[in-house]
């Protein structure tokens, strides 16, 4: 295990940036306190829809496919620079933002990819994207639906008999994708103690199977009747990935590669499985320990996030994926609309706030601009990809917080404000 002093090794906050005043052509391609809640990225999933965001944002009706929002404001370059540069609030070792759309492009970084060498972050650096993985999984399930191989209104138990307890009520495939399943919290003796960074790192080489993950939610009663409330849960996408495998006869990673990664040329995006390392140029992630030192947490087995948060990518690849998805290159329009459709208005989050998740995407409004996309978070990594539905404004960001707590929200909200404010 490698340690770094927080007093001598944190990078300076100088910003490296690039800017283009017009949008270049983008290639088009035909085609809860429980352990699992913590590791599945619930905190990250809520970052863009809390705090300064208006309570009514999530219930706005999705725009028709042919309609665009009003013209987006000019990029606020000064705000973007500040959002990247401020690595002490919260404490982070690196940050990068990639903005594109009708009013131009901007890319900026600060900090270093590796504290040991001092190497600066670059556009080709890979990072762990956490729950953005769910968008890839949802896209494949929706492709199978469009092909008539999966019925979104059919119970997942029909496709995966015996995987969930027999006494559980029917949970439709669509209810998995939009987080209205009502499955219980994770529990049982199999869950390790990850209450401190030191204990987290003791489990960095643990290997999980999807069956073991599902077993952790197979105790106790349902939290609510399926379809009546919304609660962001990673286990929904573990089941969705298992469904992909049962229907296709291939691993869900193989299907993502065949249907998305290879057709779009996403050569820097991968599913690591039990390989704990990130291969090729990448940004390191660090955790602050109790004594104030930083430990490199980059090497970490991601099987605990199987199907819901294991993937690795770059800002360039995520921008290309988001552009193709929103442009209708990956899904027929009627099927794509399901990603932008929220549950009925009487279905609210378990905390009483409006529902904010469609089938694979989440929505948030800031400074009057409504964005759709997904956040992601793993130890030492926090990221997001968002766009207006008409793609006048797209953003992909990644930063490397050293504390896995609510302080991460400050960076995310600062980025969201910078991306949406009028320059």
- Average model confidence (pLDDT) across the chain: 88
pLDDT band at 406 (very low <50, low <70, confident <90, very high): very high
| 131 is annotated as an active-site residue | yes
How many C-beta atoms lie closer than 10 Å to residue 116's C-beta? Answer: 11
pLDDT band at 195 (very low <50, low <70, confident <90, very high): very high
Domains of the chain: 3-31+35-420 (3.40.710.10)
pLDDT exceeds 80 at position 67: no
pLDDT band at 16 (very low <50, low <70, confident <90, very high): confident
Q: In this predicted model, what pLDDT tens digit does every residue of 370-382 receive, in sequence order?
A: 999 999 999 999 9
pLDDT of residue 123: 95
Q: In this predicted model, what pLDDT tens digit does every residue of 316-371 receive, in sequence order?
A: 999 999 999 999 999 999 999 999 999 999 999 999 999 999 999 999 999 999 99
pLDDT of residue 44: 38
CB 151 within 8 A of CB 177: no
Among 131, 145, 387, 398, the one annotated catalytic: 131
pLDDT band at 111 (very low <50, low <70, confident <90, very high): very high
Average the pLDDT over 162-172 and give the result. 97
pLDDT of residue 190: 85
Q: In this predicted model, what pLDDT tens digit does every residue of 296-310 receive, in sequence order?
A: 999 999 999 999 999
Q: In terms of pLDDT, which residue wins out, 74 or 13?
A: 74
């Amino acid at each position: 295990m490698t340690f770094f002093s927080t007093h001598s090794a944190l990078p300076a906050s100088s910003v490296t940036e690039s800017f283009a005043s017009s949008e270049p052509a983008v290639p088009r391609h035909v085609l809860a306190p429980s352990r699992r809640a913590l590791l599945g990225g619930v905190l990250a999933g809520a970052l863009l829809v809390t705090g300064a965001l208006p309570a009514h944002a999530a219930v706005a009706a999705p725009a028709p496919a042919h309609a665009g929002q009003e013209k987006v404001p000019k990029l606020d370059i000064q705000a973007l620079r500040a959002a990247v540069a401020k690595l002490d609030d919260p404490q982070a070792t690196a940050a990068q933002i990639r903005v594109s759309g009708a009013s131009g492009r901007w890319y900026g970084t600060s900090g270093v990819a590796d504290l040991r060498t001092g190497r600066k972050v670059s556009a080709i650096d890979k990072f762990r994207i956490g729950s953005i993985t769910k968008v890839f999984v949802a896209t494949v399930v929706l492709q199978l639906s469009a092909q008539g191989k999966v019925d979104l209104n059919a119970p997942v138990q029909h496709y995966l008999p015996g995987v969930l307890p027999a006494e559980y009520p029917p949970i439709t495939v669509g209810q998995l994708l939009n987080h209205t399943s009502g499955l219980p919290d994770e529990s049982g003796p199999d869950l390790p103690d990850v209450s401190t960074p030191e204990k987290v790192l003791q489990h960095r080489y643990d290997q999980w199977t999807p069956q073991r993950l599902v077993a952790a939610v197979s105790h106790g009663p349902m939290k609510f009747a399926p379809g009546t409330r919304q609660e962001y849960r990673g286990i929904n996408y573990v089941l969705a990935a298992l469904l992909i495998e049962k229907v296709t006869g291939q691993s869900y990673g193989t299907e993502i590669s065949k249907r998305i990664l290879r057709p779009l040329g996403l050569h820097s995006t991968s599913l690591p499985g039990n390989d704990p390392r990130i291969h090729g140029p990448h940004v390191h992630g660090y955790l602050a320990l109790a004594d104030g030192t930083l430990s490199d947490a980059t090497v970490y087995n991601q099987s605990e996030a199987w199907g819901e948060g294991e993937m690795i990518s770059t800002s360039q690849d995520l921008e290309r994926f988001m552009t193709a998805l929103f442009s209708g290159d990956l899904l027929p329009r009627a099927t794509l609309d399901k990603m932008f459709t929220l549950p009925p208005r009487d279905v609210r989050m378990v905390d009483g706030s409006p529902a904010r998740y469609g089938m694979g995407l989440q929505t948030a409004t800031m400074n009057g601009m409504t964005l759709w996309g997904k956040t992601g978070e793993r130890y030492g990594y926090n990221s997001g990809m968002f766009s207006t539905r008409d793609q006048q404004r797209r953003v992909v960001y990644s930063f490397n917080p050293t504390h896995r707590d609510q302080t991460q929200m400050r960076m995310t909200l600062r980025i969201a404000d910078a991306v949406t404010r009028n320059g």
